[in-house]
Every structure is written in structure tokens, then in C-alpha cells.
Amino acid sequence: MLPLSSDLVFFDLEATGLNIVQDRIVQIAMIKLHADGQPATELEMKINPTVPVSPEALAIHGLSNELLATAPTFADVAQQLYDFIGTADLAGYNSNRYDVPLLQEEFYRAGLYLDTSQRRLIDAQQIFYRMEPRTLSAALRFYAGKEMENAHDALADVRATVDIFRGQLTRYADAEYTDENGQTSRPFTSMDTVAAFCQDDRFLDATQRLKRGPDGVPHFNFGKYAGQAVAEVFAKDPSYLKWILSKDFSTEVKALVQAIDNARRGK
């Protein structure tokens, strides 16, 4: 590892949701690497967010408001966390875009200012994305050992994609995949399993305007009714269906919401 000229704190947050300003931290974990060579120190704690945990966040981290009810609030532990960080640089995974600003907002509310202007901010996700780019050319080089020629010519891109897919089938022929629920499968045994592996079951349409809610029924993923069941919205606000049908939504979305409303009304 590179020599440290200052302490480096790696940290990760779990929160009530993804909104930097509105959501709150429910768990924080930190590991401080010391520039003077002493053993790394760790700190982890659950935090009572004092606001509801969203169903989407709960499904990911499992930390409910009931479980967190007896935990300290961020204000209770803000000074302890602030002192643990001290003058250290900060590091994480997607931390520059999410964890750092969310932590700053919490400190601001507690009357503390986490100044990052003089700290190094290390984001392992950015390193990963830049060193292992997810482009067609990079995929062709990785899976097929070929260099891209005539990039963005449609036929050349399709030929490259065929080579990539062949390389993927060879590389992952016997591979196992474990999903976020701990379920293990072998996705590359048939075209059916490959297609299922590519399917994102969270969303019902290509534009991701409709999604499956925690209860499994269609929910809106946009607008003033985001996170609410489509059928329930139409029951209380029938004009919202007319608005969607009159606006610039995809044909797929319009067909789906019409079908949902027809089913709701027993048509």
C-alpha cells in the first residue's frame, strides 16, 4: 500500500434512503489507517434516524425504525464521530457522490462542519470505473482479446457484441452467481437462463417509470406519487391516468397503466 502522509478513514453508511438532504444515517462503520503505522482502529454504530426508513432501504439493509428505536441519534454521537475522523483523509466506495455529502449534511445539522477542502477524498468506485471502463471497446478487449475498429459504426458494433457474447459464454460456462438474497445459480447453462440473468425484475418498463413495490404490485417510480401503488393512485385520483395518457410517456408505460386500471375496475 502507498505510504500515508496523513491518517486515512475508510467508511460506509446505511441510510433511510438515497436523498442526500432529506434522508438520515442509520448505520456508520469506519476503519482508520494510521499514518504513524499503529494498528488500524475500527468504529461501528447503529443510529436512530428519527425519520421513517423507506421500504426500499429497509429491503437492502434490514434496519427498521423499531430495531433502531433505542440507538443514539446522530446528534448524540456526532462529536465522537467527528473526533474519530479528526484530520484524516476520507475513503469509500461511491463515497464522493453519496457517503461524504450525506455525512456532511448530518454533521451540519449537529452544528459541526466537516471540511473536505483540505482532505484527500479517495473513491474506490471511481478507480474501478476508470481503470476498468464499461465500454464496448473495453468489453471486446476483455472478453475477445480484440481491439475495436470503426467504433460507433452500427455493423462494427454489432460484430463486436457477437464476439463479446461468445467470449462471455466461454468465460462463464461453469460460473455460479449468488444474488443479493444469497440464492446461487448457474446463469450460462442455456439461453433461457442467460435471458433470465439479464432481466431486471425491479422495473416493469424499459424507461423505468414503473417498478415492483415491496408488496410485489406495480408502483410509480416518478412524480408526485413515486413509491405509491399504481392501482391505489388511480382509485383516489382517476385524473392521473388521463394525464399520463396525454403526456409524452412511452407506449409501453401507457399500455401498462391502462391495463392496471382496467384490472382495478374489473374490465
C-alpha span between 79 and 178 (Å, rounded): 39
To the question of pTM greater than 0.85 for the whole model, the response is: no
Q: Is 1 part of a structural domain of the chain?
A: no
Q: Is 46 part of a structural domain of the chain?
A: yes
Domain boundaries, position 255: 210-264
Strands 177-178 and 210-212: unpaired
Residues 185 and 218 in one domain: no
Taking only the tens place, the pLDDT of each residue in 99-110 is 999 999 999 999
Residues 14 and 102 in one domain: yes
Taking only the tens place, the pLDDT of each residue in 44-84 is 999 999 999 999 999 999 999 999 999 999 999 999 999 99
Q: Is 183 part of a structural domain of the chain?
A: yes
Domain count, the chain: 3
Q: Is 49 part of a structural domain of the chain?
A: yes
Residues 124 and 140 in one domain: no
Task: Please say whether the beta carbons of 246 and 258 come within 8 A.
Answer: no
Host H or E run for residue 42: strand 41-46
Nearest CA-CA partner of 84 in 135, 41, 137: 41
Q: pLDDT band at 151, cuts 50/70/90?
A: confident
Q: pLDDT band at 1, cuts 50/70/90?
A: low
CATH classification at residue 23:
3.30.420.10
Helices (H), the chain: 55-61, 65-68, 74-85, 100-109, 124-131, 136-144, 154-171, 191-198, 230-236, 239-246, 251-264
The residue written with cell numbers 444469497 in the block is 182
Residues 60 and 18 in one domain: yes
